[in-house]
Amino acid sequence: MAESTTFVYDATNLVLGRLASTVAKQLLSSARAGEETRVIIINAEKAVVSGKKDSVVEEYLTRYRLNHARKGPFFPRMPDLILKRTVRGMLPYQRKSSGRTAFKSLRVEIGCPSHLDGELPDGHEKGDDSKIRRDLPNRYVSLGDISAALGAPVHRWNGGEA
């Protein structure tokens, strides 16, 4: 089998839904073709959700309040897990094994790991975000701000600043 390829996407100023749908489509097509393609999304806290801040945060708070500590449904607070959950929602995760295989090939990071700064290592490529990179919408809120409103520990991505 051919060598595995890892695509790296930088989520800075990308709309969450556009990024998630592009990544889900890429993962699913490679999983169905039997290829070993992985995707890493960095700077998850800098992805944006379009809309008024108050209404977007209230929508995420409503989803989060559905949680029950032991029974679920489990909705995450951290920006990397919110982005990963969004991609999972666009895959046939519970219906087909290709969706579960595709989801296992996804990794989402808060910030940028040191080995992905600057020059990418062998076997890694920058993901093609030319179709999803657009100007920021008039009204938007970052995933980091949404996570802070949900009560996530902000020091994880702000470097100790509250």
In a domain, 162, yes or no: no
pLDDT of residue 74: 84
pLDDT tens, residue by residue, 39-85: 999 999 999 999 999 999 999 999 988 888 788 888 899 999 999 99
In a domain, 16, yes or no: yes
In a domain, 97, yes or no: yes
pLDDT of residue 160: 59
CA–CA dist 64, 77 (Å, integer): 8
pLDDT tens, residue by residue, 95-153: 888 899 999 999 999 998 888 888 888 888 999 888 899 898 899 999 999 999 999 89
pLDDT of residue 102: 94
Mean pLDDT, residues 13-25 taken together? 95
**Does residue 162 have a pLDDT over 70?**
no
CATH code of residue 25: 3.90.1180.10
Residue 1: pLDDT band with limits 50, 70, 90:
very low
In a domain, 58, yes or no: yes
In a domain, 35, yes or no: yes
Residue 79: domain span = 5-153
In a domain, 160, yes or no: no
Number of domains in the chain: 1
pLDDT of residue 123: 87
